Structure 1
Amino acid sequence: MIRSFALAALAVLAPAAALAQDGDNARYDPDRGSNWTFELGAGSDNRSKGASKSDGAPYVYGEAQWNAANGFYADVEFETIDSSGSYVETEAEAGWQYSAFGLDFDTSASHKWRLGAVAGHDDAAWEYQFDVIKDFGDVDARLRVEHSPDGLGSTEAWTWVETRVRWPLADRLQASVTLGRREQDNAPDYTGWNAGLAYAVNEVVELDLRWHDTNLDLPGDQYAGALVAAVNLAF
């Protein structure tokens, strides 16, 4: 299933054109030189890969990132969760944004820790991520592949493949749709998706409203559909 999904996502990205960084990390700009960027935010639910990490409860996050002039970057961040007895997850990440074959890429490795996790649940894990993002005029598409050889909590090895498309609706207003597939050991495989709107109030503040859902029908809020509102500050 993962292989079929990845091939379908690659078909979306096949034509050659310029790329734009998706904003998940500070955009690589060789003319800007080395710089620091910072992000703070909060939302009504902490959603990752379609599923809730906060058991449907509100959350906050923060990140500080150093961007080198040659495309390398490193960051540290935290986010509040409700999983494995832990309420705070921290992360240290290093990566490289670069261009090749007329495309832009972002590849990174990160180490995550869950503070105060209960005994018997893994409280640390390595994760690896690879992005390709492509512009089709005002529309951009992203293919993302993530993998961990041994995940957090009770989850063992997992792989996530997603594709996302964004397009402008009006000045400062964007729509986007994301569809992904997660296959994992010692946890259920599932398909997750979200669709919504992001509005840039100014150069610092962005508001986001979107629906998240999965194909799993299990008790609790982790995999259930939810409308999530968030505010993000970047400077």
Structure 2
Amino acid sequence: MDNGSAHGSGDVKTNHLERSPYRRARSSGAGRRIQPWRHGDLHHGLRIPWYFADEPKPGRTGSIDASYGIFYAGMWGSNVDFGGSGTGQELATVEIDYYAGIAPTWKGISFDIGGLYYTYPGAFDPGTEFDYFELKTGASYTFGESFTVGVTNYWSPDFFGETGTGNAIEGSAEYVFGSQLFNFFTPSVSALLGYQDVDDLGDYTYWNAGLTLGFMDNWSADIRYWDTDFSEAGCVGFNGGANNCDARVVGTISASF
């Protein structure tokens, strides 16, 4: 999701693996999935990621978010590619996610408690269900004005494809530099480490690290390295493709309005 800030974005979603190199897992900065707006307003954003891999493909995403006080809600959409069925029919080409929650603060700690519902309109999913729900609980703390650490948990009663209970926990860190680069860019570095476990699919660890350059108030450019500890065989079982969990570098241009 576009988080509305000019830095700390690392957020990429283009595959049903919530936390793979294709798809950002989403706490502060490094790969956050949903960061609520902290003020009462209505915003929308555009994100264009590009994957530097064996088969690079551009992605297009957009979001609209609203908040009032500690309450927030929004929706996010993207093109996706889950491949084809045995009959040649595309499994899914569009993803639209809906989310809402609260983001209170207490003694300098920022909390985020919300629900996320992932949908794939027009998906070809006979015998199973792609759509699913997750409960998100997270907290983050900023030391001074520059260094933020966070932990976030995502729990689903029935994960993608009706594969049973799913749970993921992520730790993240972000440092925002106090001075501008070339009097134009506001640089930040961020990283995330996560662990995903699903009843019928097993478990794996994922991580990312990258550099974000904020500019012109509403724009940011992000370059990020993603990887998992999946073997090719494990990736086929979890995601349907041996190369879908490989390491890769993702470049993203984002704007919020």
Q: Same fold (TM over 0.5)?
A: yes
Alpha-carbon distance between aligned partners in 1 of 2:224 and 2:243, rounded to the nearest angstrom: 16
Q: Of residues 39, 46, 61 in structure 2, which corresponds to 1:40? A: 46
Aligned residues: 204
Q: Which residue of 2 aligns with 1:167?
A: 175
Give every structure 1 segment of 4 or more consecutive aligned residues whose post-TM-superposition deviation is greater than 3 Å: 20-24
Q: Which residue of 2 aligns with 1:151?
A: 159
Q: Which residue of 2 aligns with 1:62?
A: 62
Correspondences of 1:50-199 after superposition (within 5 Å): 57-68=57-68, 70-83=69-82, 85-115=91-121, 116-137=123-144, 138-153=146-161, 155-169=163-177, 170-171=179-180, 172-199=186-213
RMSD: 2.4
User: 5+ unaligned residues in a row in structure 2: which ranges?
Assistant: 1-26, 84-90, 181-185, 233-240
User: 5+ unaligned residues in a row in structure 1: which ranges?
Assistant: 1-19, 46-51
Q: Aligned to 1:186, what secondary structure does the other structure show?
A: coil
Alpha-carbon distance between aligned partners in 1 of 2:254 and 2:81, rounded to the nearest angstrom: 21
Question: Identity of aligned pairs, percent?
Answer: 21
Contact 1:26 1:37 (C-alpha < 8 Å) held by counterparts: no
Q: Which residue of 1 aligns with 2:38?
A: 28
The CA deviation at 1:27 is: 3.4
Q: Which residue of 2 aligns with 1:224?
A: 246
The CA deviation at 1:181 is: 0.5
* Cα 1:21/1:72, change in 2 over 3 Å: farther
The CA deviation at 1:182 is: 0.5
Q: Aligned to 1:128, what secondary structure does the other structure show?
A: strand
Give a deviation string over 1:62-110, Cα, whole Å, max 9, x none.
Answer: 1111111x21011011122222711111111111110124411011102
Greater RCO, CA 8 A, separation 6+: 2
Alpha-carbon distance between aligned partners in 2 of 1:131 and 1:38, rounded to the nearest angstrom: 23
Alpha-carbon distance between aligned partners in 2 of 1:155 and 1:222, rounded to the nearest angstrom: 18
Contact 1:207 1:232 (C-alpha < 8 Å) held by counterparts: yes
* Cα 1:213/1:21, change in 2 over 3 Å: closer
Alpha-carbon distance between aligned partners in 2 of 1:72 and 1:25, rounded to the nearest angstrom: 12
